[in-house]
Amino acid sequence: MSSMEMDARSVRSERDRQLANRALLRGWLYVVLVMLIALVLVGGATRLTDSGLSITEWKPIHGVIPPLNDAEWQEEFAKYQQIPEYAQINGGMGLDGFKRIFWWEWAHRILARGVGFVFGLPLLFFWATGRVERGLTPKLVGLLLLGGLQGAVGWWMVASGLVDRVDVSQYRLAVHLTLACAIFAAIMVVARGLAPHTEAPADRYTQKFAGFLLLAVLFQIFLGGLVAGLDAGLSYNTWPLMDGKAIPGDLFVIEPAWRNLFENPKTVQFVHRLGAYALFILALWHIIAARRRLPATTHSRRALVLFHLVLLQAIIGITTLLMHMPLHWALFHQFIALIVLGFAAAHWRATKGAYPLPTEIAIAR
C-alpha cells in the first residue's frame, strides 16, 4: 500500500470518527431540547395557574428538597402568607391549596436544574474525551453560560412579585420566556449544524430571509410573553374583530404612549395579533420565494412545512382565544410555538449547510 493510499485511509478514518462524535453530540443536544420543551411548558402552566410566587426564596442547592413533613409545609406556607399575592388575592387559601401551586413552581425549578445537569455534565465528559471540535467549544460553553443567566433571570422575575405587586412583572416574564426560547433555538441551530446535509447550501437571499423569519418567530414569542404576563388573553375573546372593531379604540390611554405597548392589556393583545398576521405573511412570502429560487429542493420543501406550522399555530391561537384560554389549549399553543421556533431554527441552519468538519478544513488549507 502506497503512502498516498495510507494517507487517504487515515483521512477517511478520522472523518468517520468525527462524524460519529457529531452523531453522539447531536443525540445529546436533542435530549436537552426535549427537556427544554418540558421546562417551558411547565413554566407556562406555572404562570397560568398563578403558581410562580409560591416559593419565595431562591435556594439553588437546598431548594431541590421539597417540604417533607407537616412542620416544613407550614413553614413554607407561612413565608408565602407574607407576600402581597396571598394578602390581596389568596387570603382564604388553605394548606392544600398552597400545595397545589407549590408543586407547579417546584417542578419548574427542578426541571431547570435538571436541564443544567443534563447539559453541563455530558459537555464536560465530551470535552475531556476529545469529542468536542475546537470551533464547537465556544458555542457550547456560551450556551452553558446562557443557561446560568436564565436561572438568575428567573429569580429576578419572581422577585418582582414578592414586595409591591400581586404578580410578576410582565417585562421580566417576557424576558425570561424569550431568553429560554433563544437558548432553545440556539441549541437547535448547533444540533442541525452537526447533522449531515445532502443538499447544497441555499442562495444568500434565502439564507437571510430564513434567518429573519427565525427572529420574527422569536419576537412573536416575546409578544406572547407580554400577553401572558398581563393575562391579556382573558379579555376580548373574539376574532377577527377585537372589541367589535378591526382596530379597537383605547389603545393608547396610558401616558406616555409607549407604555401601552407593554402595560395596556388591550394594546398588548392587539399587537400580538398584528405580529401573528405579519408572521403569517412572512412565512407565505418565504415559501413563494423559495419555490421560485430553489424549486424541487429540500430548502423549498422545508419552507412549505414551516408555513404550515405557522398556519397551524395561528389556528390554535385563535381557538385558544375564542375558548377563553383553557389551560390545556394555552399550553398546546405554547408547545406549537416551540415547534415552530425549533423548525425555523433548523431550517435557517440547513440553508447554510453543515459545519465544516475539521478534516475538511485541514484539507482546504
Q: What pLDDT, in 10s, does the model give residues 27-43?
A: 999 999 999 999 999 99
- φ, ψ dihedrals at 146, nearest 5°: -65, -35
pLDDT at 288 over 70: yes
End-of-domain residue from the set 168, 188, 214 = 168
pLDDT at 3 over 90: no
- Burial class from Cβ neighbours inside 10 Å (0-12, 13-18, 19+) for residue 12 reads exposed
Which grid cell sits at 296?
Answer: 424541487
**SS3 letters for 148-212?**
HHHHHHHHHHHHCCCCCCCCCCHHHHHHHHHHHHHHHHHHHHHHHHCCCCCCCCCCHHHHHHHHH
Domain check: are 111 and 239 in the same one? Answer: no
User: Across residues 107-121, what is the average pLDDT?
Assistant: 96
Domain check: are 125 and 24 in the same one? Answer: yes
End-of-domain residue from the set 149, 168, 187 = 168
Task: Tell whether 182 is covered by a domain.
Answer: no
Cβ distance 45 to 106 under 8 Å?
no
User: Across residues 57-67, what is the average pLDDT?
Assistant: 86
Domain check: are 341 and 253 in the same one? Answer: yes
pTM of the predicted model as reported, rounded to 2 decimal places: 0.94
297-318 confidence digits (pLDDT tens): 999 999 999 999 999 999 999 9
Cβ distance 180 to 35 under 8 Å?
no
Domain check: are 148 and 94 in the same one? Answer: yes
Contacts of 14 (CB under 8 A, 6+ apart): 359
Task: Tell whether 185 is covered by a domain.
Answer: no
User: Across residues 5-33, what is the average pLDDT?
Assistant: 83
* Local structure of 242: helix, strand or coil: strand
Task: Tell whether 70 is covered by a domain.
Answer: yes
Query: In angstroms, what CA-CA distances link 308 with 207, 218, 286, 320, 352?
Result: 19, 17, 12, 18, 22
Domain check: are 137 and 263 in the same one? Answer: no
pLDDT given at position 15: 80
Helix or strand run (H / E) with residue 349: helix 327-352
Q: What percent of the chain has pLDDT over 90?
A: 85
Task: Tell whether 177 is covered by a domain.
Answer: no
Task: Tell whether 297 is covered by a domain.
Answer: yes
Domain check: are 84 and 157 in the same one? Answer: yes
Which grid cell sits at 339?
Answer: 415547534
Residue scoring higher pLDDT (209 or 365)? 209
Domain check: are 154 and 206 in the same one? Answer: no
Task: Tell whether 224 is covered by a domain.
Answer: yes
Of 194, 188, 211, 172, the residue nearest 338 (C-alpha): 188
Domain check: are 203 and 157 in the same one? Answer: no
168-213 confidence digits (pLDDT tens): 999 999 999 999 999 999 999 999 999 988 889 999 999 999 999 9
State the chain's mean pLDDT as an integer.
93
pLDDT given at position 145: 96
User: Across residues 313-338, what is the average pLDDT?
Assistant: 96
d(CA 216, CA 302): 17
Paired with 245 in beta bridges are 242
End-of-domain residue from the set 126, 152, 168 = 168
Looking at the structure of the chain, the number of domains it has is 2
Which grid cell sits at 96?
Answer: 392544600
Domain check: are 347 and 253 in the same one? Answer: yes
Domain check: are 151 and 209 in the same one? Answer: no
Of 274, 53, 81, the residue nearest 172 (C-alpha): 53
Least confident of 3-7, 77-81, 197-201: 3-7
Domain check: are 275 and 235 in the same one? Answer: yes
d(CA 365, CA 358): 11
Task: Tell whether 191 is covered by a domain.
Answer: no
Domain check: are 227 and 119 in the same one? Answer: no
User: Across residues 223-240, what is the average pLDDT?
Assistant: 95
Task: Tell whether 72 is covered by a domain.
Answer: yes
pLDDT given at position 91: 86
Q: How confident is the model at residue 6 (pLDDT cuts 50, 70, 90)?
A: very low
User: Across residues 216-222, what is the average pLDDT?
Assistant: 98
Question: Which domain range does residue 64 map to?
Answer: 13-168
Query: In angstroms, what CA-CA distances link 311 with 215, 242, 343?
Result: 17, 20, 14
pLDDT at 65 over 60: yes
